[in-house]
Amino acid sequence: MDLAETLERAERHLWSDERGSMEFVRLREGVGLLVMSGKLGDEAAKAWELHFPWLLGRGQVSLFMDGAGVTLPNAAFISAGTSLIKGVRPRLDALHVLVDGALLEMTAKTANIALGGLMRITRERNTFEAELARALG
């Protein structure tokens, strides 16, 4: 099954408000994808806290975060995400993050310091999707 077909068949939870959206996609047990777009603030942070455990499932997981569509996350959103990821760090086999732009890349790199360098950050969609395809086998 190719990546497009896997994405089409995957279970998902969607959150959105007038400023942004987040799509939590469980591609299969052990591989999760979070697609984010827009201006993500306090309400998005609450949605992340609500849906993140479902996205991870049980056991070890490779997590992919597509933040290429994010225009500006606020401090509450960044703090919530970093805290959630720190809490499950032992369960993460890999954490891949796609960003678009220098400001988001710098934000991700700063969060990565708090995570002990776990994130693999890229601005290249092809690299991100190749790693995702590899994780899906």
CB-CB contact of 100 with 68 (8 Å): yes
**CATH number of the structural domain spanning residue 50:** 3.30.750.24
Q: 10-63: per-residue pLDDT in tens?
A: 999 999 999 999 999 999 999 999 999 999 999 999 999 999 999 998 899 999
Domain that holds residue 70: 3-136
Going edge to edge, which strands form the sheet with 31-40?
A: 11-16, 20-28, 31-40, 61-73, 92-98, 119-122
Average pLDDT, the chain: 92
Single pTM value for the model: 0.93
* Structural domain count, the chain: 1
